[in-house]
């Protein structure tokens, strides 16, 4: 098949990771992959996979932006010249673009819903979902049916996949070894000196590290994790919190850390293109989201073999089975988060056991291969008979 992906940008983030995983996987399966976007810092990764890039001015959040019309003009010729079979969009504005291209050409349009949309006026009068909508979790599917009235047969749930082989590989700077390390331990439990180098590079000291990788947005629940750290440090004063990501809430979170008097133990690091660089410095990963479509960073932490804690909301419940491969906590509850973190930091054997089960669970259920096969099957259903 000849497949065109449309995305607003190619900067670090969940949608870019999703598109890369899918596009590179289907490229290896023999399909011709085209990518239309306004570029970004991760463009070179796509080009290295042999994916054909088409620049369009689609970096906009407006459904009525003239950039959409310009993009239609730029893509119309490509669709005909390369016999595109499927148009696959990944955001509200690219859904509008994909819908208009499909109307003009008759080419099947599919969209992926990566999370939760607000009920805006234009969404009601111009739905633009496509002939099939991929929801990344059951909770996202429920959102689409209840809040936007989509028919169940229009939606298919296909969970995000990740390159699990990548997370079994040793990172350049691995984590220190610890008591009880075994031959089958996660890859991060390795040379002691390398782990200390990784921490030092990130500005951390020695000792236990709790981490989160997420954009700095209120919906990700950073506030409750920082409040929980205040409680944790009263009992374990050497614990550090590593917050990885960018976003509009950074100054607010910095002020909160200072107001609580724990700024010495809270470290902020910008987004990274390879999450292994930061996961290798963590002993425990926490995702305290208030809403979550699925949780790509959480999946990567689990694939890396880290013990994880997550809010009992949305797609997180598709990933964490409480006290089997992680721990679920009530959302927006700092005390519950603190209790869960303390429980695992003080029990290294349980941390290791949960981490092993998390890694096995992701390898078996959320691989790149599974995601690509299921998506390919839906593409074939949309082709003209």
Mapping DSSP onto H, E and C, the string for 38-71 reads: CCCCCHHHHHHCCCEEEECCCCCCCCCCHHHHHH
Q: Which residue in this structure is represented by tokens 């700095």?
A: 216
For residue 172, the model assigns a pLDDT of 45
Rounded to whole angstroms, how far apart are CA atoms 332 and 337?
Answer: 9
CB 98 within 8 A of CB 111: yes
Rounded to whole angstroms, how far apart are CA atoms 369 and 69?
Answer: 35
Q: Which residue in this structure is represented by tokens 């390795």?
A: 190
Burial 210-235 (b: 16+ CB within 10 A, else e): bbbbbbbeeebbbbbbbbbbbbbbee
Rounded to whole angstroms, how far apart are CA atoms 248 and 258?
Answer: 18
Residue (of 331, 275, 303) closest to 14 by Cα position: 275
Rounded to whole angstroms, how far apart are CA atoms 161 and 186?
Answer: 19
**How far apart are the two ends of the chain, measured CA to CA in Å?**
14
For residue 194, the model assigns a pLDDT of 58
pLDDT in tens for each of the 385 residues of the chain?
Answer: 999 999 999 999 999 999 999 999 999 999 999 999 999 999 999 999 999 999 999 999 998 899 999 999 999 999 999 999 999 999 999 999 999 999 999 999 999 999 998 888 777 778 899 999 999 999 999 999 999 999 999 999 999 999 988 887 655 443 433 434 444 444 444 444 556 677 788 889 888 999 999 999 999 999 999 999 999 999 999 999 999 999 999 999 999 999 999 999 999 999 998 999 899 999 999 999 999 999 999 999 999 999 999 999 999 999 999 999 999 999 999 999 999 999 999 999 999 999 999 999 999 999 999 999 999 999 999 998 6
> Rg for the chain (alpha carbons), in Å?
21
For residue 177, the model assigns a pLDDT of 38
Q: Is 125 exposed, middle or buried (0-12, 13-18, 19+ CB in 10 A)?
A: exposed
Rounded to whole angstroms, how far apart are CA atoms 108 and 96?
Answer: 14
For residue 154, the model assigns a pLDDT of 95
For residue 173, the model assigns a pLDDT of 41
pTM for the whole thing? 0.88
Question: CA angle at residue 190 from 185 to 196, to 5 degrees?
Answer: 135
For residue 193, the model assigns a pLDDT of 54
Residues with Cβ within 8 Å of residue 86, at least 6 apart in sequence: 1, 2, 3, 4, 107, 108, 109, 110, 379, 382, 383
Phi, psi dihedrals of residue 188, rounded to the nearest 5°: -75, -15
CB 274 within 8 A of CB 117: no
Residue (of 218, 217, 233) closest to 341 by Cα position: 233
What are the distances in angstroms from CA 324 to CA 75, 136, 276, 293?
48, 23, 23, 21
Containing H/E element for 340? helix 334-345
């Amino acid at each position: 098949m000849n497949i065109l992906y449309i995305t607003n940008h190619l900067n670090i983030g969940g949608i870019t990771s999703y598109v890369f995983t899918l596009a590179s996987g289907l490229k290896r399966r023999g399909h011709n992959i085209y990518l239309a976007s306004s570029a970004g810092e991760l463009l070179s990764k796509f080009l290295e996979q042999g994916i054909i890039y088409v620049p369009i001015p689609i970096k906009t959040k407006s459904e009525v932006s003239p950039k959409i019309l310009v993009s239609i003009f730029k893509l119309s010729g490509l669709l005909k010249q390369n016999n595109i079979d499927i148009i696959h969009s990944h955001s509200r504005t690219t859904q509008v673009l994909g819908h208009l291209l499909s109307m003009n050409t008759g080419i099947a349009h599919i969209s992926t819903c990566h999370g939760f949309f607000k009920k805006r006026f234009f969404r009601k009068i111009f739905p633009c979902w496509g002939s099939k909508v991929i929801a990344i979790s059951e909770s996202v599917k429920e959102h689409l049916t209840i809040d936007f009235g989509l028919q169940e047969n229009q939606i298919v749930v296909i969970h995000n996949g990740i390159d699990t082989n990548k997370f079994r590989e040793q990172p350049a700077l691995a984590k220190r070894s610890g008591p009880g390390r075994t031959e089958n331990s996660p890859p991060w439990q390795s040379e002691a000196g390398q782990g200390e180098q990784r921490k030092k590079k990130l500005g951390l000291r020695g000792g236990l590290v709790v981490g989160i990788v997420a954009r700095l947005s209120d919906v990700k629940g950073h506030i409750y994790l920082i409040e929980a750290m205040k409680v944790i440090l009263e009992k374990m004063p050497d614990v550090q919190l590593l917050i990885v990501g960018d976003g509009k809430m950074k100054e607010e979170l910095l002020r909160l850390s200072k107001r609580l008097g724990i700024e010495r133990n809270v470290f902020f690091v910008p987004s990274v293109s390879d999450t292994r660089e930061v996961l290798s410095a963590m002993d425990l990963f926490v995702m305290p989201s208030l809403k979550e479509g699925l949780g790509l960073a959480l999946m990567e932490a689990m694939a890396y073999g880290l013990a994880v804690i997550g809010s009992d909301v949305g797609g997180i419940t598709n990933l964490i089975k409480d006290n089997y491969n992680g721990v679920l906590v009530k959302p927006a509850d700092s005390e519950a988060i603190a209790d869960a973190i303390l429980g695992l930091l003080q029990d290294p054997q349980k941390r290791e056991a949960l981490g092993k089960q998390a890694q096995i669970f992701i390898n078996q259920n959320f691989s790149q291969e599974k995601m690509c096969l299921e998506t390919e099957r839906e593409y074939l259903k949309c082709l003209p008979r």
